[in-house]
Structure formats: C-alpha cells, structure tokens
Amino acid sequence: MKHHEYEMILAEERAIAHVQAMAIRLLEEKKIRKAQLARDLNVSEARISQIFRGDPSNLTIKTAAQLFYAMGEELVITCRKIDEMNARAEKRNRELASLTEANSEAFKWIKSTPLEPANSFESKYLPREAAA
C-alpha cells in the first residue's frame, strides 16, 4: 500500500472516530438510550450498535447527520483550514466593529450639536461651540 493511500485511510478512520466520540458524548450527556435512538431513527438496535463500534460500515455523512438530528443536535462539518479562515474573518469583523464604535463615539458631537451660524461672517455649517 502506498503512503498516500495509507494516510487517506487514516484520515477516514479519524473522521469516523471523531463522529463516534461526539455521538457517544451526546448520548451520555443527554441520557439517551441506544434503544430510543434506534426507534427515533427507525433502525434496528443492531444498526445503532454497529455505528458505535470500532468499524461502522456505511457511516455516511447522511447517516451521521440523521444520528445527531435524532439527538436534537446539528452535525457541523469543518476542517482546520476553514476554521482558521473563519477565525481570521471573525477577528477582522471584531476589529471593524471596534473601529466603527470608536468612530461613532468620536463624532457623536456632530449628531448632538445644532448647526446654526454664529454670526453672518461664519459658516452656517459650523457647530455653535466651534464658531464661538
């Protein structure tokens, strides 16, 4: 077996193990019995046991999504690169929000100051305080 094929099989096994571990944690946290889960999914208890064993056959994304839905959760699939990209985008959004908030505070006086000419020689667009 080539190294690339071996790495691909390992990646698949890690993903399956991760889904299984999350499902087991949810079952325990929510105190859901496997028999109840089987009824909710309209499958046999043997199929549920198969999903949670070390080598689940045909554990597809569709099956995993149904499994989590039956436990009242949504399965979210991501990868490290997407997580990094999302974290950078979130950081940029926080920085922009902070700048927007700072600019809003800095120019708050504009909204609260009536614009009237102080005298005939000054601009009619200056705030009273600036003209005085």
- The string of DSSP codes covering 83-121 is HHHHHHHHHHHHHHHHHHHHHHHHTHHHHHS-B--SSTT
Residue 47 vs residues 3, 21, 69: alpha-carbon distances, Å: 32, 17, 16
* The pLDDT value given to residue 87: 95
* The pLDDT value given to residue 45: 93
| Residue from 61, 31, 59, 29 nearest 47 by CA | 59
* The pLDDT value given to residue 21: 92
Checking if the pLDDT of 132 tops 60, the result is no
* The pLDDT value given to residue 56: 67
pLDDT, one tens digit per residue, over 16-70 is 989 999 999 999 999 999 999 999 999 999 999 888 886 667 788 999 999 999 9
Contacts of 125 (CB under 8 A, 6+ apart): 115
pLDDT, one tens digit per residue, over 61-83 is 999 999 999 999 999 999 999 99
Average confidence (pLDDT) over 112-132: 58
Dihedral of alpha carbons 46, 51, 54, 58, sign: positive
Average confidence (pLDDT) over 89-102: 86
**Strand, helix or coil at 31?**
coil
| Residue from 58, 52, 57, 45 nearest 19 by CA | 52
Q: Show me where the domains of the chain are located.
A: 3-70, 80-131
* The pLDDT value given to residue 44: 93
